[in-house]
Amino acid sequence: MGRTAFVLGLGVLLVLLAGLDAWKAHGLPSWLAVPMVLALGYSALCVLSLRLHDRGRSGWWSWIVLFLFSLAWPLSHAAAPDVINIGAIILLLPVGVDLALMPGQKGLNRHGPPPSQRPLFKPVP
């Protein structure tokens, strides 16, 4: 996944998460909130893994990124930011710069060719 697609996908996920947080504050039942949070988390893992693969890294790092993001997310904490929130934000800053601003690997890596060299659709045999 290239930088532009990553930033757009991340933006959509952040808007959806903010909307879900606002909906939870206005009485979203937990039986409906849990599957929605799980779906957003799975989508975020997929987007992060694809971008990490484009950068030549393992997709397993996306779990750590999502954990740090959950600690830094401002709408889920009612109190003022504490040392854990601020620490998670500090750790996420270089990760965000790396994933959003740095180009992917030019050639083939262990995860496959770069997005510009992949076909949009695979032909059906």
Q: Whole-prediction pTM value?
A: 0.74
Q: According to the model, what pLDDT value does residue 42 have?
A: 92
Q: For residue 116, what pLDDT band results from cuts at 50, 70 and 90?
A: low
Nearest to 74 by CA among 9, 7, 25: 25
Tokens 């997929």 correspond to 46
Nearest to 24 by CA among 73, 69, 65: 73
Q: According to the model, what pLDDT value does residue 101 have?
A: 86
The 10s digit of each residue's pLDDT in 53-90 is 888 888 888 999 999 888 887 755 556 667 887 888 88
